[in-house]
Structure 1
């Protein structure tokens, strides 16, 4: 499959079944319109606007009645309140295993990472995606590891690298503790180029140890998995 980064937390996966595209978290901080072009299915980790651009997604669903969205409960409610057809939006819970556009999707998670003890934690789902022996994990706004790993580890681990809820040490621990062939940084809209460079140095395997490749993608750039 092919992974394409669309900015911030949004990625799309072109599956090896003839070209179906699965999109994860088309939010307002990335290029949601580009990500949704040709989308066969959409996964939403949680209801924050940088992870779900409700107007853009509702418009896409209205124009493509065969496209379905799987989302956390609050994100699904936000889409329905925004005008999305109820029959195209499904709520998910941790522990479910779904068949989405031909991919096996294992739902995990539960809570957004802590921003502040007095800030209510959003419901945050994670997604382990497997197809034809290839795998990718999107943690949303958390560093919760997959409940289950493929026998030979992940092909791609998406690692959030900026945000009001994180420390770089947590990103480093996450990258080091979840076996993966490639680490791709996401959730990066708040980083300057200096911040990206610093983050890349700290997450590089020469400093951390391990055997993964650290691969930062520019918006619109693709990676063969």
Structure 2
């Protein structure tokens, strides 16, 4: 499996027969580039940095075989934006989807708390398994998968910046969920200095852990 980072919270995962599953093509990522060749799209929640509605709708209308699974509010936003209703499906925790040779387990439920007076968005998570390799995208949460593949994850995507987090949450998440590789996401608010500091704090040489920390720049890929 090839994992490609498209900026902020968006990644694509290559499929055995060609094409890719794209997760969270939002306004802070290269959504149009990520969606090129997408055969399926997964969206964790309805915040614009996770779903660029015009870009996704344009892709769906030009590619009628492409299907989207999204949290309920994100699915509603896509339909309201003009997405064909038969191509948009609500993803709910506990669902297991079979998509072009990939197995996708939906988890989650709630966005992380920004402030007690700010309503929490519906946030689903996705565990994607392709050819025996696994990647977990938590959206805007630190909720782990309900069940892990034997031997743990191959790649854990860890949010590293946002108004709802502090670095301790990212460190604890990376250390608590067994994975061979940790890839930082949700980094659109970080400067290069911020990336350097985050990398030093999440690197296992400082605080322990049993994973490789691998930051990807936009457009860069990782062979899983």
Q: Check the 8 A contact 1:20/1:101 in 2, yes or no.
A: no
Alignment of 1:195-206 (within 5 A): 195-206=194-205
Query: Which residue pairs with 1:24 in the alignment?
Result: 23
Runs of 4+, deviation exceeding 6 Å: none
Query: Which residue pairs with 1:41 in the alignment?
Result: 40
Q: Distance in 2 between matches of 1:166 and 1:100?
A: 32
Residue 175 of structure 2 corresponds to residue 176 of structure 1: yes
Residues 34-57 of structure 1: per-residue CA shift (max 9 Å, x gap): 000010000000000000000000
Q: Distance in 2 between matches of 1:161 and 1:126?
A: 16
Query: Which residue pairs with 1:130 in the alignment?
Result: 129
Residue 14 of structure 2 corresponds to residue 14 of structure 1: yes
Q: Check the 8 A contact 2:175/2:210 in 1, yes or no.
A: no
Q: Check the 8 A contact 1:137/1:156 in 2, yes or no.
A: yes
Query: Which residue pairs with 1:213 in the alignment?
Result: 212
In the TM superposition, what is the alpha-carbon distance from 1:79 to its structure 2 partner? Answer: 0.1
Over the residues paired in the alignment, what is the CA RMSD in angstroms? 0.5
Query: Which residue pairs with 1:54 in the alignment?
Result: 53
- TM-score by structure 1 length? 0.99
Alignment of 1:70-149 (within 5 A): 70-149=69-148
| Structure 1 counterpart SS, 2:25 | coil
Query: Which residue pairs with 1:5 in the alignment?
Result: 5
In the TM superposition, what is the alpha-carbon distance from 1:146 to its structure 2 partner? Answer: 0.4
Residue 62 of structure 2 corresponds to residue 63 of structure 1: yes
| Structure 1 counterpart SS, 2:78 | helix
- TM-score by structure 2 length? 0.99
In the TM superposition, what is the alpha-carbon distance from 1:18 to its structure 2 partner? Answer: 2.2
Which residues of structure 2 form unaligned runs of 5+? none
Q: Distance in 2 between matches of 1:128 and 1:3?
A: 14
Q: Check the 8 A contact 1:176/1:208 in 2, yes or no.
A: no
| Structure 1 counterpart SS, 2:197 | helix
| Structure 2 counterpart SS, 1:22 | strand
Q: Distance in 1 between matches of 2:101 and 2:58?
A: 24
| Structure 2 counterpart SS, 1:56 | helix
- Tell me the number of residue pairs that the alignment of Structure 1 and Structure 2 aligns: 224
Alignment of 1:152-167 (within 5 A): 152-167=151-166
Q: Distance in 1 between matches of 2:30 and 2:80?
A: 22
In the TM superposition, what is the alpha-carbon distance from 1:20 to its structure 2 partner? Answer: 2.5
Residues 5-46 of structure 1: per-residue CA shift (max 9 Å, x gap): 00000000012x222200000000000010000100000000
